[in-house]
Amino acid sequence: LFVISHNLHIDSYGQCLHNKDLPSHRLVNTLTATTEDSEFMRFIANYKFHIAMENAICDDYMTEKLWRPMHLGSVPIYRGSPVVQDWMPNDHSIILIDSFPSPKDLADFINYLDQNDEEYLKYLEYKQPGGLTNTFLLESLEKREWGVNDMSKPNYLNGFECFVCDRENERLQAERAHRKLPDSVPLPVPRRAAYDHMGCPVPTPGYGSDDEIPANDSWKQMWQQDYWQSIDQAEALTTMIHHNETDAGRLWDYIHQLMSKSPH
């Protein structure tokens, strides 16, 4: 383990390595939770660094493993979304595992920051006034119509549904205007969904290869199974649209029809 061979001490309270026990038995049930429980949050906040490795690698998949230590002022050592820097407050707020050529280089850098307070604190400057310098993030926060813990705005799921409906209504209105005044109002350009809008590759583990994980492991049973189920649901939804099906309750009927035609 690079933890041992490169003189980098890591406290591991979970099943991996597990070299330290939790100080409170009550924390056992909240170790992987997204809870805002004060005791749990105080416990996490004791650490200068926090290893944050996502369960799967996907552009749009960034979880509490990343946001929780940032919220608390602990620097994440992160492996996950390839586009994570697009959404960071600045270009100096997280440590990207994949940017280091070897575990030794990563361990040496972490030890360097740990021994140099001035360099370490640069990773927390985004919490100071004016520290949020990512213009893409700022513009996205200003323009988004959904909120976080804001009951006056839709959540991100409803916000996406509203976004799709708004775009469809805009298209319908533009088509009606074109039919009334075809010479002066141009026909709207079709909006077509592309794979890179919402598509994700088959989930891959945050560390190691898929071949190294046993078939009965919970990761494979949950992540990959959910992925393929979502593909089936998307195909069934497409079929419903092509058949002008308006009863959303029939989604599973269409899924079963697709499965019955499947070669497996």
pTM here? 0.73
pLDDT per position as a tens digit, 167-220: 889 999 999 999 999 999 999 888 777 776 667 778 777 667 788 888 888 777
pLDDT on residue 154: 84
Ranking 69-73, 238-242, 260-264 by mean pLDDT, the lowest is 260-264
Residue-averaged pLDDT of the chain: 84
pLDDT per position as a tens digit, 31-62: 555 456 677 888 888 999 999 988 878 888 89
- Rounded to 5 degrees, φ, ψ at 49 are -130, 155
Query: Would you place residue 246 in the very low, low, confident or very high pLDDT band (cuts 50, 70, 90)?
Result: confident
Is residue 154 within 8 Å of residue 145, measured between CB atoms? yes
| Over residues 94-102, mean pLDDT | 94
Alpha-carbon distance 184 to 177, whole Å? 9
Reply yes or no on whether the pLDDT at 1 is more than 70: no
Alpha-carbon distance 135 to 47, whole Å? 29
pLDDT on residue 177: 95
